[in-house]
Amino acid sequence: MSDRDSDGSSLDLNQLRTFLAVYRAGSITAGARLIGLSQPTVTAQLQALEKRLGRLFERLPRGVAPTAAAAELAARIAEPLDALTAVAGRSVATESVPQPPVRLAGPAEMLAVQALPALAPLIERGVRLTVTAGLSEDLLAGLRAGTYDLVVSTMRPRGRTVLAEPLSDEEFVLVAAPEVAARIDTARLQAGPGVLAGVPLVSYAGELPILRRYWRHVFGIRLIGEASVVVADLRAVAAAVTAGAGISVLPRYLVAAQLDSGRLVALLEPPDPPINTGFLVRRPGTSTRPHVDLVCTTLRAAARNW
């Protein structure tokens, strides 16, 4: 992509600023608010720029998704345009301009137990949130498409189209209700999981992904068996186990209160428990969105205590 088109003229700086605002905001309407222009003006400037450079955005029912050409253009112009606005003493996204909602996505349990309580005080400061729960792989695809501003992911994203930083580590623990634990010889459990034969398993998926990872990591063997209860929400898994339905492996943060109160018992405390790292992932080009930055900063600070 050249900075000049076929007739040798330079690209229009205002059009580039408009493009960058829409790229960062994820929609024409939100981009117009960021730079204080009307939506028709923003649309006209984008059309003029696309006439010279080719399609930059795919129009979606809600918002826009940047094309590969848009990502390349944004990567090239973001830093110099931001530096220029700083020198000029103007910001494309000041606190005096109403900010669009921060579109946050992540696992339902992590959002409910950790992220949203930490972010609640920001609402009084004018921050608005649109929160979506789902599987990390699907949410990361949505982030790349411009559907979200931030994703809390339980998997490290691949490629260079998003920026990821480690946020927190979650430890997995094998738990049961006290009445179920009383029927298990936990002393023998140190030697292997044979004493768990016949104990019902509770899982959030039929493939037993967390349970099988725990068996492989702690016991060094593959778990063979089927779940007695399958429910696609780790909070519901914890509730079923607390009620005595069986045993499961859950993130410690999710069952910390139950463990402290004695409503759940950790059947084993291995010296090297399975750990999963959560990542805070964002799209390039959101670095001048004050509310996005504020949400990031708040989550980072809160994660030190998770």
Q: Which two tokens stand for residue 220?
A: 């060094």
Angstrom distance (rounded) from CA 255 to CA 264: 8
Amino acid at 278: G
269 plus 181 within the same structural domain: yes
Angstrom distance (rounded) from CA 291 to CA 44: 27
214 plus 175 within the same structural domain: yes
CATH at 59: 1.10.10.10
pTM of the shown model: 0.67
> 166: closest CA among 26, 291, 30, 306?
306
Last residue of a domain, one of 33, 53, 88: 88
288 plus 158 within the same structural domain: yes
Residue 231 lies in a domain: yes
The tens place of each residue's pLDDT in the chain, 306 residues long, gives: 555 554 556 789 999 999 988 887 778 988 888 788 899 999 999 999 999 999 999 988 878 888 888 888 887 887 787 667 656 544 444 445 568 899 999 999 999 999 999 999 999 999 999 999 999 999 999 988 888 999 999 998 887 678 889 999 999 999 999 999 999 999 999 899 999 999 999 999 999 999 999 999 999 999 999 999 999 999 999 999 999 999 999 999 999 999 999 999 999 999 999 999 999 998 765 555 789 889 999 999 999 888
Residue 94 lies in a domain: no
Residue 42 lies in a domain: yes
Q: Considering its fold, how many domains does the chain have in total?
A: 3
Angstrom distance (rounded) from CA 79 to CA 124: 31
pLDDT value of position 3: 52
Residue 213 lies in a domain: yes
Residue 96 lies in a domain: no
pLDDT value of position 94: 45
178 plus 259 within the same structural domain: yes
Going by their DSSP bridges, the two strands 57-59 and 64-66 should be labelled as antiparallel
What is the extent of the structural domain holding 122?
A: 102-162+283-303
pLDDT value of position 95: 46
Q: Which two tokens stand for residue 72?
A: 């390349």
Residue 144 lies in a domain: yes
231 plus 247 within the same structural domain: yes
Residue 56 lies in a domain: yes
158 plus 174 within the same structural domain: no
What does DSSP assign to residue 61?
Answer: S
Last residue of a domain, one of 43, 62, 88: 88
Last residue of a domain, one of 63, 88, 113: 88
268 plus 195 within the same structural domain: yes
> 35: closest CA among 87, 109, 100, 83?
100
117 Cβ contact partners less than 8 Å away, ≥ 6 residues apart: none
Residue 154 lies in a domain: yes
Give the CA distances from residue 47 to residues 95, 149, 162, 201, in Å, rounded to whole numbers and listed in that order: 29, 24, 26, 57
